[in-house]
Amino acid sequence: MGVRVQTADFDLSMEVAALTTGRTDIGAIVTFTGTVRGEANGQPIALMSLEHYPGMTEAELARVEAEALARWPLSASLIVHRVGDLKPGDNIVLVVAASAHRQMAFDAAAFLMDYLKTRAPFWKKETGADSAGHWVDARDSDGEAIARWSSTG
C-alpha cells in the first residue's frame, strides 16, 4: 500500500509488477491512468502545471487509501500523483487496486479516483498557446461522483 508524489513519470508495468510479483492471492488488477489532454474548453493547451500541498497531500492520500481498505478487501493498492510542469499526453496520476475479484478492484479504483479528485490538495493550472495561464475550475460532477460512496459505507 503506497502513496507517492513525484515530478518523474511512472511506468505502469513496473508499478503493477512491484505490487503483484510473487503473489498468487490476486485475481484482478485495475489501473487508472490520468493524462494531460491537449485541449481545454475547445482551446489548445501548451502546458499543465500541477501544484500541491506537501505534507497534507501524503496525509490525505493515506487517509483515502485507508478508507478504501476499510471498504474492500484489497490485496494491494497504490496512488502515484505527479507535480510540476506537464505537456499534453503526459501522465498525471496512477491508481492501482488489486483484489481477489474483479468487482472489488473496479470499485476500489473508482473510489480512490473520486476521493482523490475531491479531497487531495492538488491544483492544475493550464497555459494556452498564447501563454495565458488559468487555474482549472473544480467540476461539479466530481462532487456528485464522491456523493455516490457516502451511501454505500
Partner 1 sequence: MTVEKAEMRLKILYFAWVREKTGRAFEEVDVPLGIATVADLVTWLKTRGPEFELAFARSDVIRAAIDQVHAKPTAEIANAREIAFFPPVTGG
Q: Is there binding between residue 113 and its own copies (CB under 8 A)?
A: yes
Among partner 1, its own copies, none, the one that 75 touches (CB under a kind-dependent 5 to 8 A) is none
Indicate whether 26 belongs to the interface with its own copies (CB under 8 A).
yes
Residue 29 as a binder of its own copies (CB under 8 A): the answer is yes
Q: Would you state the cell numbers that stand for residue 133, as one nine-digit string?
A: 495561464
Determine the longest span between alpha carbons in the chain, in angstroms: 52
Q: Which is nearer to partner 1, 71 or 119 (CB)?
A: 119
In whole angstroms, what is the distance from residue 123 CA to residue 52 CA? Answer: 6
Out of 45, 72, 81, 98, the residue judged to bind partner 1 by CB under 8 A: 81
Binding flag, residue 37, its own copies (CB under 8 A): yes
Strands 91-99 and 28-35: antiparallel
| Residues touching its own copies, count (CB under 8 A) | 36
**Single residue of 12, 59, 66, 147 touching partner 1 by CB under 8 A:** 59
Beta pairing, strands 84-86 & 91-99 = unpaired
**Pick from 135, 137, 144: nearest CA to 114:** 144
Provide, rounded to whole angstroms, the least separation between the CB of residue 137 and its own copies. Answer: 15
What is the C-alpha separation between 91 and 137, in angstroms, rounded?
Answer: 20
Does position 119 interact with partner 1 (CB under 8 A)? The reply is yes
> Under the criterion CB under 8 A, does residue 31 sit at the interface with its own copies?
yes
Cell numbers 474483479 label which residue? 102
Distance CA 6, CA 123 (A): 15
Residue among 55 and 150 whose Cβ is closer to its own copies = 150
126 within 8 A of 136, measured Cβ to Cβ:
yes
Q: List residues binding partner 1 (CB under 8 A).
A: 34, 50-53, 55-56, 59-60, 81, 92-93, 102, 113, 116-125, 135-138
